Amino acid sequence: MKRSRLNLFKTTSMSISVLGIIMILATITVFIYLGVAIIGNIITNDVGSGSSYDQLTALKSEYNTLEGQYSDMKKGVDSLGNPDIKTAYINAHLDLVKAKASIDDVESALASGKSKDEVKKRINTAQTQLNMAKTSISNVKGLM
């Protein structure tokens, strides 16, 4: 009788030890999985935002080009003195200001870590504003 209790105790003790080791390994596995998933997500977001930074750079470049064209027209607009041209010139300036604000909005979204969809939406808005500014500048050139 004494031997069977001792064997039962050994078996129970061994089972609890094995289950404890299995639980510890399962916990470690879950933490490793979560760590890898989080790191993978961070890397994916960084790669996605890289293309957004490239688009931002392209928007800034296009804006600078349009701003240069706008500045070059000032002398011609002033010398002609036509009120229609001056109105179109002022409208072009307003569109450039809106485009700059939209580009700054994109930059702010990227800096604050907004979602990819939000950044893409702001990039599309900035591109639309730049296209409007480009059209306004073309209108001024057409009137000159």
Model pLDDT for residues 97-117, shown as the tens digit of each residue: 999 999 999 888 888 878 888
**pLDDT bucket at 44, cuts 50 / 70 / 90:** low
pLDDT higher than 80, residue 2: no
Query: What Cα–Cα distance (Å) separates residue 61 from each residue in 40, 78, 96, 130, 136?
Result: 32, 27, 13, 11, 18
Q: What percent of the chain has pLDDT over 70?
A: 92
pLDDT of 46 > 80? The answer is no
Q: Report the domain count for the chain.
A: 1
CATH code of 127's domain: 1.20.140
The Cα 94–Cα 83 span in angstroms is 16
> What is the percentage of the chain residues whose pLDDT exceeds 90?
33
In a 13 Å sphere around the CA of 138, the CA atoms on its Cβ side amount to 6
DSSP secondary structure code for residue 1 in this structure:
-
Question: Quick one: average pLDDT of 118-133?
Answer: 91
Structural domain boundaries, residue 23: 2-143
